[in-house]
Amino acid sequence: MKKDNVRKTDFKENERPRTRFLQFFDIFKHRFVELMKISLLQAVFNMPLIGTLISFYSLVRSSSDINSLMTVFIITSICLLVSVIFSIVGLTGSFYCLKKIAYAEGEFASSSYFVGLVENWKKAVSIGFIAGISLSVTMIGSFFFYYKLSSVNAAIAGFGIAILVIQAMVVLMMSYYSIAQIVIYENKLKFILKNSFIFTLMRFQFNLPAFIIHPGVIVVLTSIMEITMFVAVGLIILFVSIGHLIWFLNILSGFDKFINKDYYPDYYKKGLYKEA
């Protein structure tokens, strides 16, 4: 059997990066192939979401009137609910692998993808259901405000859409924090959701840039035109783990500051260089 080539300097204390920000570039440089493997594994669970996006674009273009368009939005919202659950379950495996890479635990991380999946999928389904409901409500609500209410009162319609988009952003950010907690700590789901909400709001200035990079870029590319939508699909398949890595290291930075330092000292700045 071919032996995996793991960078030895990952396990030398004085060679490790000093911050999570610098750790991103270290991982990107030395574990890029590993990240690509994680992306391809995640792509399996993103396929329903990719299919939903492509189908939605095609059906919207072929809709002849407002009623058929409404049917498209309703059907898509249902498919979106199911596909988001699959994606979030896959995210559990991705974050489990990224934990091993970030914490320098000394094994080939992508081989652990399905280990993390099997161990944590039940809680992930619950989190995915919440995220899916949020996005489905956003889609149906946006249709109502834009196509039904905007002609009557554009200001109220715009405000309604803004509220829906903001709540979807908050719930998606909470989802990243929730999955990270699942793969790192042992905690009940209600406490995981509570902590995720607090971290989402408390670290919003850090979460927003991460959100703009992923999934923001993909959402924008999907919305522009057909060609850019397929570019977005390519990003989802090949490079989604890079977006996940940005989120995971951002989350670890918050956990180090507010949780690990006082309550989980073994996890505090784990994988980073720590001065004696």
- The answer to the question of residue 233 being in a domain is yes
- The answer to the question of residue 269 being in a domain is no
| Whole-structure pTM value | 0.91
- The answer to the question of residue 190 being in a domain is yes
Query: What is the distance between the terminal CA atoms of the chain, rounded to a whole angstrom?
Result: 40
What integer best gives the mean pLDDT of the chain?
90
- The answer to the question of residue 274 being in a domain is no
Quickly state the pLDDT bin for 276 (edges 50, 70, 90). Answer: low
Structural domain range at position 206: 8-263
- The answer to the question of residue 1 being in a domain is no
Judge whether 176 and 247 are in contact, CB under 8 Å. yes
Please enumerate in sequence order all residues whose Cβ is within 8 A of that of 162, keeping only pairs 6 or more positions apart, or say none.
none
| Residue 159 to residue 183: CA distance in whole angstroms | 37
The CA-based angle 136-138-141, given to 5 degrees, is: 105
| Residue 178 to residue 251: CA distance in whole angstroms | 10
Please enumerate in sequence order all residues whose Cβ is within 8 A of that of 17, keeping only pairs 6 or more positions apart, or say none.
23, 25, 26, 272, 273
Q: How many domains does the chain have?
A: 1
Q: Read off the pLDDT of residues 200-256 as tens digits, 9 standing for 90 and up.
A: 999 999 999 999 999 999 989 988 877 888 899 999 999 999 999 999 999 999 999
- The answer to the question of residue 45 being in a domain is yes
* For residues 104-124, average pLDDT: 85
- The answer to the question of residue 71 being in a domain is yes
- The answer to the question of residue 253 being in a domain is yes
Q: Is the predicted pLDDT of residue 3 greater than 70, yes or no?
A: no
Q: Can you give the pLDDT at residue 148?
A: 82
